[in-house]
Structure 1
Amino acid sequence: MNNSNWYALFVQTGYEDEICKMIDCLTQIFNFSNKTIYYETLVPKRKLYETKHGITNQVIRKLFPGYILIKTDDIEYMYIISKKCFHSYRFIRRANYSFSIIKQDEILQILKLMDGNGVIDVSNVFIENDKVRILSGPLFNYTGIVKKINKSKKRAKIEIQIMGKNLPIDVSIYVLDKLPNDDINKIILFKKTIEEYK
């Protein structure tokens, strides 16, 4: 939709997915303008490796806890609907009280990292000395946003811009012990001192 923009809705943490379902239901029940309203909701997530009691598991965590991203061509209507959701708080606004639109380049940066289910998957990397090759996954070709690699925790710290602010976020990496033969000639995309958390 050409006239649609992305907005951020601040909600109670832990109820993001539930509120998306409530918005879907309420939008079907109420239609104050008697016209077709275009909207889609998104709760960006990421796969992470987490270790508990010596056991490492892969879990899915929300990228922006407490926020829902909404794309719509009628923000006033979505505002009214969101106010009917018990755990919904407010849309992010500017100083003049107009709704803050998420810039196109900011939202595209996030969307390109996610798969079809709205999840940032694990990237495969190979580390040799202080050089890192990103072989596959969402970080492939997006190494400019990689700021730090934590080999022991299998995480990469990336920096994305959202609502005009630079936000550091951890995403998972799978560190390969050996570089596959067909990847030997791949360009080294990221070169930085590997920083280990103690």
Structure 2
Amino acid sequence: MSEKEAKWYVAHTYSGHEKKVKANIEKIVENRGMEDVIHEVVVPTEEKVEVKDGKKKVKQKKIFPGYVIVKMIMNDESWYVVRNTRGVTGFVGPASKPVPLTDEEVRWMGIEDKTPSIDIEVGEAVKVTSGPFENFIGEVKGINNEKQTLRVSISMFGRETPVELEFTQVEKL
């Protein structure tokens, strides 16, 4: 059952408990120091725009309700940890042997391609292209690739104001 390379596995959960299960698995991994075995836990979501009372709202909607995707090296201990996390009802696959997702399934689900690179560095000037600070120009003070955000200092009312912007909201000058 043991392999060297981490693969993506699907765990079935009670519907509506996906985020709680994700948090529980991450907490157990942290407490037991298993970061080298269980790498990542994902609840696949997509943005849906809803119009309510004439106002647009962007909501995160679960693509696969009742499932969490776990990237891990499958062994007895990692199987036990995920399988016995509160809210998990089992793995997808025959009874005791979870089946990993194929590379094609992982690409199709869009799990791993969520980290776009950005050709902007700290200290460079950027123009805000959307949002409340549209058309402002600022200097990049920090980059968070994981959250896909930039910390930008813009001049507002004669003062330098730090704002957090998404990669998609800015363009390099």
Q: How many Å apart are 1:112 and its aligned residue?
A: 6.8
1:44 aligns with 44
1:165 aligns with none
Give the RMSD, CA atoms, in angstroms: 3.0
**Structure-2 separation of matches of 1:67 and 1:35:** 21
Q: Specify whether residues 58 and 109 from structure 1 end up closer, same or farther in structure 2 by C-alpha distance, changes over 3 A only.
A: same
1:29 aligns with 31
**Structure-1 separation of matches of 2:84 and 2:23:** 13
Conserved 8 A contact 2:43-2:69: yes
2:62 aligns with 62
Match for 1:90: what amino acid? G
**Structure-2 separation of matches of 1:54 and 1:35:** 45
Aligned ranges 1:136-155 → 2 under 5 Å:
none
What is the TM-score when the length of structure 2 is the normalising length?
Answer: 0.55
1:8 aligns with 10
Conserved 8 A contact 2:106-2:112: no
Q: Specify whether residues 75 and 14 from structure 1 end up closer, same or farther in structure 2 by C-alpha distance, changes over 3 A only.
A: farther
Q: Deviations over 1:139-194 (max 9, x none)?
A: xxxxxxxxxxxxxxxxxxxxxxxxxxxxxxxxxxxxxxxxxxxxxxxxxxxxxxxx
Q: Specify whether residues 108 and 91 from structure 1 end up closer, same or farther in structure 2 by C-alpha distance, changes over 3 A only.
A: same
Q: Which runs of 5+ in 1 are unaligned?
A: 118-198
Q: Specify whether residues 99 and 44 from structure 1 end up closer, same or farther in structure 2 by C-alpha distance, changes over 3 A only.
A: same
**Structure-1 separation of matches of 2:36 and 2:105:** 27
**Structure-1 separation of matches of 2:9 and 2:16:** 19
Q: Specify whether residues 38 and 82 from structure 1 end up closer, same or farther in structure 2 by C-alpha distance, changes over 3 A only.
A: closer
Q: Specify whether residues 46 and 75 from structure 1 end up closer, same or farther in structure 2 by C-alpha distance, changes over 3 A only.
A: farther
Aligned ranges 1:158-169 → 2 under 5 Å:
none
Tell me, yes or no, if structure 1 residue 111 matches structure 2 residue 113. Answer: no
| Equivalent residue pairs, number | 114
What is the TM-score when the length of structure 1 is the normalising length?
Answer: 0.48
2:19 aligns with 17
Q: Percent identity?
A: 17
1:140 aligns with none
Match for 2:16: what amino acid? G
Which segment drifts farther, 1-10 or 101-110? 1-10
SS class of match (1:27)? helix
Conserved 8 A contact 2:38-2:70: no
Aligned ranges 1:175-190 → 2 under 5 Å:
none
Q: Specify whether residues 97 and 113 from structure 1 end up closer, same or farther in structure 2 by C-alpha distance, changes over 3 A only.
A: closer
Q: How many Å apart are 1:85 and its aligned residue?
A: 2.1
Q: Which runs of 5+ in 2 are unaligned?
A: 117-173
Q: How many Å apart are 1:93 and its aligned residue?
A: 1.4
Match for 2:17: what amino acid? Y
